[in-house]
């Protein structure tokens, strides 16, 4: 498609175009002139964005069904969004990851921060899992796959359609193989000296949470010769890294039996079956039960799901984070360490830290904050988009 053939959409006269020119990647529906022609555009249509005076300012992807009605693809209004353009963006992302990591297991594309808004790609060796969470990425999926293979030489590509973001864009929830067949077994993934088992088709998200890599590594530095409790463990993120670093024992708690079985398989592959245990149940109930029988651990880490996924859920979510801290604190031995995590972008670092310290205080303890962690470098932060910096972790010595 040539630039001259692209439809155009226009900012309302009083809407400032400065934020877009300075790199903000979204345009909301209330900022646009939404006439009948604009509303009739097919979700995923590539268009030229004009300011209120009809001056072209960017090439965007449009979805009239979404609150984020336009996503900036390129600040050049004459850009051609084709396979060549995709290859340039993917190659830039790929070269950075190749510099950062020795093995090909990482987040390859982190949406807006990699210049591909709404697109997530996680790499698992020769397999890539794509989450096209914006309509334009769904429309251009064949070109994305072709560009991905050209840049990385992966031999299998899976589309993972789970998550609320696709529902907000009016997209399906079907997970399918786009190239080669779906894997018939979980895949072993090496990270921080541990082995994790990733279910690429039936697991949470794309099968593994790469974003916690650096936080797993920090927690592991505290774990040598220690008893470790990993709450909301998923496939054993913190506990397996701790065992790899010399922890004497680790207990993983999660509500998902399949996730715990994958954690157990990872521990077995590492040769740590005798040092690793799992317990399925509601994390709040299990922590309460452990405290009632006087259990103590040298290191306790809690990595719950997003309790505050949006502003409407913020206050309720902060109370939940406070409750996690309050219930986890009694389980930490004197002089031990407590790690608390949040993947809620609506809960800012300050608000999350306040909730955690309040919970520790209400449990009758006090502690020093020794480390604040964020997502790893394969999850870059878009400097103008707070949502891309969602992950926080706080480590206290109690």
Domain definitions of the chain by residue range: 3-74, 83-179, 190-200+208-397
**Lookup: tokens for 82:** 């084709």
Strand segments (E) across the chain: 8-10, 26-28, 45-50, 56-62, 68-74, 105-110, 119-124, 127-132, 156-159, 176-179, 187-191, 194-198, 227-231, 249-254, 276-280, 297-302, 332-342, 368-373, 392-397
pLDDT at 387: 82
HSE (side-chain half, CA atoms, 13 Å) at 19? 14
| Rounded-to-integer distance, Cα 198 and Cα 140, Å | 27
Low-confidence ranges of the chain (pLDDT < 50): 1-3
Determine the topology of domain 3-74 in CATH. 2.30.130
Pairing of strands 332-342, 176-179: unpaired
Residue 111 three-state SS: helix
pLDDT at 4: 57
The b-or-e profile of 256-267 (16+ CB within 10 A means b, else e) is: beebbbbbbbbb
Determine the topology of domain 190-200+208-397 in CATH. Rossmann fold (3.40.50)
CATH tag, 83-179: 3.30.750.80
Give the closest residue to 352 by CA, choosing from 362, 360, 342: 342
DSSP per-residue codes, 252-273? EEES-HHHHHHHHHHHHHHT-G
**pTM of the predicted model as reported, rounded to 2 decimal places:** 0.94
pLDDT at 1: 43
């Amino acid at each position: 498609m040539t630039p001259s053939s692209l439809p155009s959409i226009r900012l309302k006269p009083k809407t400032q175009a400065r934020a877009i020119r300075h790199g903000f990647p979204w345009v909301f529906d209330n900022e646009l002139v939404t006439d009948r022609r604009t509303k009739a555009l097919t979700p995923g249509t590539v268009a030229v964005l004009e300011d209120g005076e009809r001056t072209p300012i960017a090439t965007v992807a449009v979805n009239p069904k979404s609150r984020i009605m336009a996503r900036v693809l390129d600040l050049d209004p004459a850009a051609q969004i084709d396979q060549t353009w995709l290859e340039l963006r993917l190659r830039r992302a790929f070269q950075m990851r190749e510099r950062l990591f020795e093995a090909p297991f990482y987040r390859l594309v982190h949406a807006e921060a990699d210049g591909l808004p709404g697109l997530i790609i996680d790499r698992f060796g020769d397999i890539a899992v794509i989450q096209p969470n914006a309509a334009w990425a769904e429309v251009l999926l064949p070109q994305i796959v072709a560009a991905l293979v050209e840049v990385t030489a992966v031999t299998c590509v899976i589309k993972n359609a789970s998550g609320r973001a696709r529902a907000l864009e009016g997209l399906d929830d079907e997970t399918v193989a786009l190239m080669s067949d779906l894997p018939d077994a979980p895949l072993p993934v090496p990270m921080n000296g541990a082995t994790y088992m990733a279910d690429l088709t039936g697991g949470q998200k794309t099968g593994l949470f790469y974003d916690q890599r650096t936080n797993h590594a920090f927690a592991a530095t505290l774990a040598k010769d220690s008893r470790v409790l990993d709450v909301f463990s998923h496939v054993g993120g913190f506990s397996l890294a701790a065992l790899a670093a010399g922890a004497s024992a680790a207990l993983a708690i999660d509500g998902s039996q399949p996730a715990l079985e994958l954690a157990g398989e990872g521990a077995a592959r590492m040769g740590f079956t005798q040092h690793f245990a799992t317990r399925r149940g509601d994390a709040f109930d299990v922590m309460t039960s452990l405290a009632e029988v006087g259990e103590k651990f040298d290191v306790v880490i809690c990595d719950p799901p997003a309790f505050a996924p949006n502003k409407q859920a913020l206050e309720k979510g902060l109370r939940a984070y406070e409750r996690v801290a309050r219930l986890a604190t009694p389980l930490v031995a004197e002089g031990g360490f407590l790690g608390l995590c949040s993947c809620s972008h609506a809960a800012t670092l300050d608000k999350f830290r306040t909730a955690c310290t309040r919970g520790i205080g209400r449990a009758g303890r006090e502690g020093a904050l020794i480390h604040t962690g964020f997502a790893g470098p394969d999850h870059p932060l878009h400097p103008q988009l707070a949502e891309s910096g969602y992950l926080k972790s706080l480590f206290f010595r109690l």
